[in-house]
Homo-oligomer: A and B are copies of this chain.
C-alpha cells in the first residue's frame, strides 16, 4: 500500500509541501521552473491527491448531491445527465441518490450528503424536507429544489409549469375535437400530478361542452398504466372516453399497450392519447406518442448553475425558475400526417 503524500513529492522536487500545494491549486503563484520540477516529481512517484485531506482542511467538497424520485424514469435520468454535464464542466461531480418515492430513503441520502459536507444538494422532493434543507443551509450547504417549486420560496427551485402543461395537453385534445376526456394519473399527493390535472380541468371548464373524468392510479409506472387500460377495456364501448391525458409517459405507454393489443382500440381514431415528459421512448413507440415535453436536461443544468452561485455567495436571494413545457403532437393524437409539420425531424430520439 504505497501511500505517496505531498511530503514525498516535496522532498523529491526539493521544495516545501506548501509549494506543492500551490502548484496543485494556484500554479500561477509559482515560478514555471518549480511547477515543472514538481510535476515531474508527481509523475515519477504516481502521486494522487487525497481528497479527504483536502476537504478536511479546506472545508468543502467538490461533490454535489442529487436525490431523484425514480431512476427508472427516463425523465429523471435525462435530468441527472444534465446536472452531471454541467457539474463536470465546473469541476464538480454528482453523487446520485434514488429515493424511489420513499421518505425514508430520501432522508438517508440527505444524512449521507450532510456527513460528506457536499458542496450543495439538488433534490426532487418527496416528503416534506424543508426542515432538513434549512438545517443544511445553516451548515453552509445550499440546496436547490428541482422539478417542483419550493413550498414557501425560501429555497431556489427549477421546475416546469405543470399547470400550463396540463392545460396545453387538454387544449390539444379539445382542438382535435374530443369532448369526453379522461385523466389517468396518481397519486394526487404528488404535486406534479395534481398540477397537471388542475391545468387540464381549467382548460376543459373554460371550453364548455367537454367533460373530464379522473381515473386514478397508484403510481406513475407502466404497470399501473396497463392496469388502468384493462379497466377501460372492460367498459362498454360507449362508456369509454374519446381522449386520454396520461399523467406521464410511462402510464401512457401502459395504456397504449393494453388498449391496442387487448382492447382492439384504435389510437387515435377511437381514443386519442397524450402523455407527459416526452421521454425518448415516447417518440419511438409504434404509435408515436404525443406528449408534453419538458426540458429535462436543461432543468438539471440550470439547477447546478444556481446551486453553485448560491454556494459561492450565500446571501444571494432564492430564485424560482419556471420553464414552459411544449407540446409534441404525434400520431397518438393526430394520426399519421404528411411529414411537413413544424417539428418533424427535430425529435431527439434517445438523445
Q: How far is the CA of A74 from the CA of B114 in the complex (A)?
A: 30
Q: Which of A153-161, A164-172, A252-260, A303-311 contacts B (4 or more CB under 8 A)?
A: A252-260
CB-CB under 8 A from A1, the residues of chain B are 139-140
Q: How far is the CA of A49 from the CA of B285 in the complex (A)?
A: 49
Smallest CB gap from A347: residue in B = B223
Query: A196 in the interface, Cβ–Cβ < 8 Å?
Result: no
* Interface residues as binary, A207-228 with B (CB distance below 8 Å gives 1, 0 otherwise): 0000000000000011100100
Query: A317 in the interface, Cβ–Cβ < 8 Å?
Result: no
Distance (Å) between the CB of A12 and the closest chain B CB?
A: 19
CB-CB under 8 A from A97, the residues of chain B are 93
Which residues 72-118 in A have Cβ within 8 Å of B in the complex? 72, 74, 77-78, 80-81, 84, 88, 93-98, 105, 108-109, 111-112, 114-117
Query: A312 in the interface, Cβ–Cβ < 8 Å?
Result: no
Smallest CB gap from A46: residue in B = B135
Distance (Å) between the CB of A293 and the closest chain B CB?
A: 16
Find A287's partner among B71, B115, B286, B288 (CB 8 Å cutoff).
B286
- Say whether, besides A52-B117, A72-B74, A98-B81, A284 and B2 are in contact (CB < 8 Å): no
Q: How far is the CA of A257 from the CA of B93 in the complex (A)?
A: 37
Find A254's partner among B52, B109, B254, B284 (CB 8 Å cutoff).
B284
Smallest CB gap from A60: residue in B = B52
Is B138 touching A349 in the complex (CB atoms < 8 A)?
A: no
Query: A16 in the interface, Cβ–Cβ < 8 Å?
Result: no
9 A-B contact pairs sorted by A residue (CB < 8 Å): A1-B140, A48-B114, A52-B116, A53-B56, A72-B74, A72-B77, A96-B96, A222-B350, A223-B351
Binding site for B on A (CB under 8 A): 1-3, 46, 48-53, 55-56, 61, 63, 71-72, 74, 77-78, 80-81, 84, 88, 93-98, 105, 108-109, 111-112, 114-117, 135, 138-140, 221-223, 226, 250, 253-254, 256-257, 260-261, 280-281, 284-288, 331, 336, 349-351
